[in-house]
Amino acid sequence: MKKTFLTVALSFLFAATYANCNPVVANSDLSNSSLVEDVALNSFCKSVMKGDVEMVKQLLKLGEDVNAKSLGRTPAMYAARYNRAEILQLLIDNGADLSIKSTKEKLTARDFAEQSKAKEALAVIDAAEMK
């Protein structure tokens, strides 16, 4: 009798839990929902972070904007933060603006390089600012 009662009680518990769920309909449009945010880093900035020089060159040839922000930071900021000096120079040569500030922290590429003690990136920034 106890097993039966327990089984029935658990069945009602699961049924009540399922009944209160609000399933997402496969065809529903979530693009307008305020709960859905685009939090993905774009492929250009991922390539910069990884230090993939060839991919960065290819993306530049395809017309990537060197000053477009991804997650509030420009590719130059990611290059400076991760001490990707060669890529940073490539971005500068293709028109990267080092004076742009990040959306959230209000930091420049120089600030990111200083915070992460990226000596090579700082040297590239210093050379670019002297021109």
Secondary-structure class of domain 41-131 per CATH: mainly alpha
Q: What is the 3-state secondary structure (H, E, C) of the chain?
A: CHHHHHHHHHHHHHHHHHHCCCCCCCCCCCCCCCCCCCCCCCHHHHHHHHCCHHHHHHHHHCCCCCCCCECCECHHHHHHHCCCHHHHHHHHHCCCCCCCCCCCCCCCHHHHHHHCCCHHHHHHHHHHHHC
Evaluate if residue 30 carries a pLDDT over 90: no
* Domain boundaries defined on the chain: 41-131
Q: Mind listing the pLDDT tens digit for each residue in 57-102? A: 999 999 999 999 999 999 999 999 999 999 999 999 999 999 999 9
pTM as predicted: 0.71
Average pLDDT, the chain: 84
